[in-house]
A and B are shown apart, each in its own frame.
Chain A
Amino acid sequence: MTGSLAARDLSVRYETLHGSVQALRHVDIEAHPGEVIGIVGESGCGKSTLVTALANLLPANARVEGSIVYHGVDLVNLDAHRRRLLRGDEIALVSQDPMTAFNPVLTIGDQLVDFQHHRKDLDRSQKKARIAAMLTRVGISDAEQRMKSYPHELSGGMRQRMAIAAALLTDPGLLIADEPTTALDVTMEAQIIHLLRELRREYNGIIIVVSHHLGVIAELCDRVYVMYAGEVVEGGEVDAIFHDAHHPYTRALLACDPARFPDRLERLPTIPGTLPNLTEPPAGCIYASRCERTLEPCRNVVPPCVKLSACHIARCHGVCG
């Protein structure tokens, strides 16, 4: 399908002084226009690595294997020039710290004009008009005034809105937001969730939302991939993930969220154990050392990808399709 995105057998290693960190291993995901996809998991599970790979923005010490097909083009095996072109116009990444998206010494307005360099058909004043309209759309009321400010003069919530506006100005077919609310207070978080929801109504590309916060994923996404230690362990429609999770990790993660319990708990639930070392990931199931119900093959056989329904999958020896 045109405009669709599919990563197949995608692996990413980071070469470091302490060895090769296998940050992403054999990941399969897909997304279609109009969908909001959630990527959820605890820190270090590879969420940022995955979306940075999708946006072609991995650091120099990263090695990629597998394929990322977008619009029928394989991004992994693209030459550098075409890759840059695609990145500018088609794929936009909004990161957790929106400050990194902006140059501190230029006004927001000047930078937003530059973000539209692909629009050779527009002159400066037309670009400015487009910015004003976009800022209004992301809920910034005094657009003209705000364009004259510098990044540090804006609050965290305002900067996040600006970063989303900047991303949308490039007319992306794929908008990725990596932890868009993690640095914000609840009230601002609710406003950004609201904004992303409003935007999706008129936007017909793909939106990918990355968060370790289950509430944000539940509020926003249509389909969700759950990651653990560099692998996708479960994927499915948001309702299936939150109400019919099959993978023991997904269940444990849900059970840990204090927001799911209205009455006071004497002890907060936890997941005993620690993440495996990603320079030497264990053979067999990646979650086996922390799992509540390990079976015979879990320690040494890689679990199969079990299809539970049309779009619900889990990688586990203990579930049956």
Chain B
Amino acid sequence: MTPLLEIEELAVTFARGGLINRLLNPLPLPSFNILDGVTLSVMPGETIGLVGESGSGKTTLARTILGLVRAAAGQIVFEGRDVVTQADFRAMRRKSSMMFQDPVASLSPRLRIGTLLTEPQIIQGRPMPDRRAAAKALLAQVGLPASFVDRFPHELSGGQARRVGVARALAMKPNLLLADEPTAGLDVSVQGDVLNLVGELQREQGFAAMIVTHNLAMIRHVSDRLAIMYLGRLVETGPTQEVFAAPKHPYTATLIRSEPVPDPRQRSYHLAVSGEIPSVFRRPSGCEFHTRCPLVQPRCRLEPPAYRRAGANRMVRCHYPLETCDQEKEDFARASENKGN
């Protein structure tokens, strides 16, 4: 099967100082990699979870895929065709949609839900003889009453607003849905509702989804594959269940171990990782995770690790990937305990 989307060695750089500074300053300013060497493919119909701390570049990657941020290097191939020019991106955007973190804030407050739902298709020039009927059909699809066509965004609850966000994103019948923190700020009971809805529609319509999130407990249930980002690079990819069962990158392992467990009998009394994610303006040398890695070796400080295969369907960017054997797991636990205290 050919992938729906292929990203190869994608990089995004920003010059520090902004436009004015660059115009006034004759010397080239240093530029910084927000994304670097990102290689990832998405198969038709699959769900990928893109996971990492804030500041790791997840949202930038999603926006770059849609052509909303310009790539400095690398390749994007959508449905087997290179996406290069603005026209290519426009064509791709007709077949892919983005669902934003806060659908109410991203919707225009003065437009009614009915208008908001049909606006993207009108902009794309799709014929629509009866806008109201089309909007009602979309509302029915996401389980909202038809009377909502006349409501304003601020009149909806958090869960209802997300449903409108889902309807709007799927109105174009996309082949790819990019969802940026689709359940951030929602209560667990409502989060399940929104994700079940996306899952049902996905089974019906067959689109692929990329879900950007830092919520591991949620992504574990709704994704087929995981891609873990750290400081603008992918550090690990693999099937979700396998990655959770046996993470290969120490960063993935620390993320999983950091999740609080909703069971007072399983409290963990040591920290899996100390310190904070460094700024992209001060990228550490060698492996970028070395400043926080519980298993750091001298080589890690000097030499950047390559992104390489580590078993079937697994990739990892680490000089010393974790093995699945118990000895290693114990070493990791002990090392992170020492580092945490």
Contacts and interface: CB of A to CB of B under 8 A. Distances in A.
A272 to B, nearest CB: 9
B260 A268 contact: no
A186 B214 contact: yes
Interface string A145-166: 0000000000111100000000
Interface stretch (B13-21, B27-35, B215-223, B320-328): B215-223
A265 interface: yes
Interface in A259-277: 259-262, 264-265, 267-271, 274
Contact of B192 (A158, A216, A254, A269): A269
A202 to B, nearest CB: 16
B274 interface: yes
Contacts of A155: 276
B170 to A, nearest CB: 19
A215 B262 contact: yes
Most buried by B among A193, A219, A254: A219
A216 B260 contact: yes
A214 B189 CA distance: 12
A110 interface: no
B76 to A, nearest CB: 28
A270 B260 CA distance: 21
B261 interface: yes
Interface residues of B, number: 44
A256 interface: yes
B193 to A, nearest CB: 5
A89 B110 CA distance: 46
Contacts of A189: 258, 260
A29 interface: no
B192 A268 contact: yes
A185 B262 contact: no
A190 B260 contact: yes
Interface stretch (A57-65, A123-131, A238-246, A312-320): A238-246
A256 B267 CA distance: 20
A216 B195 CA distance: 23
Contacts of B216: 186
B272 A253 contact: no
Contacts of A215: 217, 259-262
A260 B262 contact: yes
Given A242-B264, A268-B196, A187 B273 contact: yes
B255 interface: yes
Interface in B232-268: 240-241, 244, 254-255, 258-265, 267-268
Contacts of A259: 217, 259-262
B188 interface: yes
B117 to A, nearest CB: 22
Contacts of A217: 262
A188 B260 CA distance: 11
A218 B220 contact: no
B191 interface: yes
Interface string A264-305: 110111110010000000000000000000000000000000
A43 B187 contact: yes
The B contact surface, by secondary structure, is helix
Contacts of B273: 187, 190
B149 to A, nearest CB: 20
A261 B216 CA distance: 12
A223 to B, nearest CB: 11
B199 interface: yes
Interface string B273-302: 110110000000000000000000000000
Given A218-B263, A219-B267, A269-B192, A187 B217 contact: no
* Most B C-beta atoms less than 10 A away, residue of A190, A221, A242: A190
B275 to A, nearest CB: 9
Interface in B163-200: 187-193, 195-196, 199
A191 interface: yes
A213 B260 contact: yes
B276 A188 contact: yes
Nearest to B195: A268
A38 to B, nearest CB: 10
B217 A219 contact: no
A8 B157 CA distance: 32
A257 interface: yes
Given A187-B255, A258-B217, A268 B262 contact: no
B276 A264 contact: no
Nearest to A139: B274
A219 B260 CA distance: 7
B271 A185 contact: no
B188 A218 contact: no
B270 to A, nearest CB: 8
Contact of A239 (B218, B264, B274): B264
B340 interface: yes
Nearest to A188: B276
B217 A257 contact: yes
A196 B268 CA distance: 14
22 contacts: A43-B187, A155-B276, A185-B277, A186-B53, A187-B258, A188-B276, A189-B260, A191-B274, A197-B269, A214-B188, A218-B264, A239-B264, A242-B262, A253-B189, A258-B191, A258-B220, A264-B220, A264-B221, A264-B240, A267-B192, A268-B218, A271-B189
The 6 closest A-B pairs by CB, nearest first: A215-B260, A268-B192, A259-B217, A214-B262, A42-B187, A271-B189
Interface of A: 42-43, 155-158, 185-191, 193-194, 197, 212-219, 221, 238-239, 242-243, 252-254, 256-262, 264-265, 267-271, 274
